Amino acid sequence: MSTAELFDFNAARKRRSNRMENQKNGYIPLYRSVKKQLWAKDVYLRTLWENILLDAARQPFVANFKGHTWRLETGQLVTTSADLGLALCDRSGEPTSRHAVERMLTVFEKEGMISVHAERRKGTLITILNYAEYAEKTPDLPAHNSAHKPEHNEASTGAASEAHPAHKPEHKAAHHEQEGNNNNKKTTSENSDESSDKPPKNLPVVRPGAAVQSPKGDKWGNADDLKAAEWMFKKVQIISPTAQEPTWSSWSNDIRLMRNALAVSHQEICEVFKWANADHFWQTNVMSPAKLREKWDTLKAQMNQPGRNTRAAESSKPEVWNTREAWQEFI
């Protein structure tokens, strides 16, 4: 009996080829403690989070997406809700709707995991917050770096819009978990207070620069976020004197996320809220930063409409509070 009959050289060569292909595609750290998060029980949310981590830029580079140039920083990716939905399919291959993806992204925003900035007809810029700390233990391998640029370039040419049925075998190799990470420093909001090998310590996360934060540290804001939240509540009390005092960490967190997602200042946020607070319709429908964020585009559009019906008492006063000098005095 020959050696060739005892050993399948073709099978061994194929296994080596698969390993080489996986190495070329690169990998990301995926901590086991993510399974302990409440949102991770939703298979769609967890898959979307993994896809965002996989597609985020490992290093700064220039991407071309839908005919536009995007200068991506580490931890950023440019895509659309529709494209993200095409990568979230059920067992029959049906993709997730754009609106469902947008709701899932909102969950991540509220958790303080990402910020989202959408530009109509251009794309959606997603930034993974604290990405550098999350991936700091990932080796800076040439194979890993070279895998990202082609992926973004594929998306820009429309290749990412191709729907793929879920649970295909080739997807299994894409979700590598970094072995030997049990001793790594955990600095992201989802793994900062626990380890997969040790009992949870339940220690609060201390956010640098935070003027207010929740006990778990998952919701927080700086001094300006807090002051803007307090100012908003005073305006709400004018409309609803019996309104209950909000959770300041939650309101400040919503303002912080709004600033990052919409790339706006505290002054712009307060200007829009003040207008809504003086409008006969919106004054009872926009009574929190979260609702302001939800209706932002509509409010901005209606602010520019002539003769919009606002309270006469407000419109009769000259607006001087929203100058640069007045805002600086306010904060």
Q: What is the pLDDT of residues 223-277, one digit of tens each?
A: 999 999 999 999 999 999 999 999 999 999 999 999 999 999 999 999 999 999 9
Of residues 143 and 125, more confidence is placed in 125
Tell me what the mean pLDDT of segment 205-233 comes to: 88
| Residue ranges in 65-218 assigned as alpha helix (H) | 81-86, 98-110, 131-134, 142-156, 169-172
Give the residue ranges of DSSP H helices in 240-331. Answer: 248-262, 266-278, 289-294, 296-303, 312-315, 324-330
Query: Where does the pLDDT of residue 90 fall: very low under 50, low under 70, confident under 90, or very high at 90 and above?
Result: confident
Run of H or E including 127: strand 123-128
In this structure, of 61-70, 94-103, 187-196, 291-300, the range with the lowest mean pLDDT score is 187-196
pLDDT of 207 reads 76
Q: How confident is the model at residue 315 (pLDDT cuts 50, 70, 90)?
A: very low
Q: At residue 155, does pLDDT exceed 70?
A: no
Q: How confident is the model at residue 206 (pLDDT cuts 50, 70, 90)?
A: confident
Name the strands in the sheet holding 76-79, side by side, starting at the edge strand that comes first in the sequence.
76-79, 123-128, 114-119
- Give dist(CA 304, CA 322) in Å, integer: 17
Most confident region among 3-7, 131-135, 311-315 by mean pLDDT: 131-135
The phi and psi torsions of 234 (rounded to 5 degrees) equal -60, -40
Query: Of the candidates 147, 152, 126, 108, which has an alpha carbon nearest to the alpha carbon of residue 27?
Result: 147
- What mean pLDDT comes out for the span 77-104? 90
Contact 74, 57 (CB under 8 A): yes
Q: How far apart are CA 71 and CA 64, in angstroms?
A: 9
Q: What is the DSSP letter of 321?
A: T
pLDDT at 241: 92
Q: What is the pLDDT of residue 91?
A: 86
What is the residue-averaged pLDDT of the chain? 74
Q: Regarding predicted confidence, which is higher, 187 or 222? A: 222
Instruction: In whole angstroms, give the CA distance from residue 219 to residue 214.
Output: 5
Burial of 166 (0-12, 13-18, 19+ CB in 10 A): middle
**How is residue 207 written in tokens?**
């956010």
Higher pLDDT, 15 or 36: 36
Q: How far apart are the first and last CA of the chain?
A: 86
Measured CA to CA, the distance from residue 294 to residue 285 in angstroms comes to 11
Q: Report, as an integer, the average pLDDT of 160-186.
A: 38
pLDDT for residue 230 = 95
